[in-house]
Amino acid sequence: MFLDRDGVINALVARDGRLLSPRLIEDFTIIPGVQKAIEKLKWMGFEVVVVTNQPDISRGYLEPSLLHKMNLKVSELGVNKVIVCAHSDEDNCECRKPKPGMLEQYIKSSEKKYSSIWMIGDQETDVIAGALVHAITILISSDNRLNLETSARYVVTNLASAVEIITEFTCNDQSKFLAKDTTQI
C-alpha cells in the first residue's frame, strides 16, 4: 500500500493563495481518521509505505531536520516506511512522482511477492506513478471535487473512504487466497 503524505496523511496549509505542504512543524497536522485507516490497512495485511515528493528541501524552503520530525510523526502512525524525494522538477530525477522511482525502489528492495499493489494520493502525479507500477489507484479529492478528470480507478474524499473501497475490493478478490506467502502493498 503506497500512500502520498501531504493531503492524504497530513493537512495542507494555505500559503500564497494555494493549499501546499507544511514547512513548519506546528503546521504539520494529521488528518482526522488517518490513524484508524492505517491501522485497518495493517490489520488487513498491507505493508504501508509513504512515498512523498518534498521539493522544498532542494529549494531551501524546508530544513531537513524539520522534514525528519514530520516524517517521525508519520512513522508513529504505524507505517512500515517513509520514502522521500527531495528533488524539484528541475532536477529531473527518477524518484520524483509522477515517475515511479520511489515505488520501484521499495518493490525491488523487498524480498516479498505482492498479490496486489495500491497507490493512494491527492494529485494526478501520484496516480500516474502508481499506474506505472500496475497499482490500483485512488485519488483523494478532499475539496469534494469528485468529478475531476483523472486516470485513477477510484476518487474519494479521504483516506478512510479509500480504505472502505480497499476492504470491499479485497473481500471480493478470492484470488488472494490462492497464493500463500504473498503480501499486499
User: What pLDDT is recorded for position 175?
Assistant: 47
Indicate the pairing of strand 154-156 with strand 136-140: parallel
Angle, helix 159-172 to helix 34-43, in steps of 10 degrees: 20
Q: What is the pLDDT of residue 178?
A: 39
pLDDT at 65: 97
Q: How does DSSP assign 142-184, residue by residue?
A: TTS-TT-----SEEESSHHHHHHHHHHHHHH-GGGGT-TTEEE
pLDDT at res. 84: 98
Position 12 confidence tier, pLDDT thresholds 50, 70, 90: very high
Q: For residue 113, what pLDDT is reported?
A: 76
Burial class (CB in 10 A: 0-12, 13-18, 19+), 74: buried
Predicted confidence band at 181 (pLDDT cuts at 50, 70, 90)?
A: very low
The four Cα atoms 19, 21, 24, 29 give a dihedral, to 10 degrees, of 80
pLDDT digits (tens, 9 = 90+) for 90-119: 999 999 999 999 999 999 998 777 778 999
Contact in structure between 83 and 54 (CB atoms under 8 Å): no
- Residue 147's pLDDT is 56
Domains contained in the chain, CATH given: 2-184 (3.40.50.1000)
Q: Is 130 left (phi over 0), alpha (psi -120 to 50) or beta?
A: alpha
Q: Identify which has the larger pLDDT, 151 or 131.
A: 131
Mention every residue, 6+ apart, whose C-beta is less than 8 A from residue 64.
57, 86
Percent over 70 (pLDDT), the chain: 89
Comparing 66-70, 173-177, 178-182, the range with the smallest average pLDDT is: 178-182
- pLDDT number for residue 150: 84
pTM for the structure as a whole: 0.90
Instruction: Write the DSSP symbol of residue 46.
Output: B
**pLDDT (average), residues 132-143:** 90
Which residues are annotated as catalytic?
A: 4, 6
DSSP 8-state code for residue 52? E
Q: What are phi and psi of 86, to 5 degrees?
A: -95, 10
Work out whether strand 154-156 and strand 118-121 pair parallel, antiparallel, or are unpaired.
unpaired
Q: Summarize pLDDT for 17-64 with one digit per residue, the tens.
A: 999 999 999 999 999 999 999 999 999 999 999 999 999 999 999 999
Specify whether the CB–CB gap between 70 and 25 falls below 8 A. Answer: yes
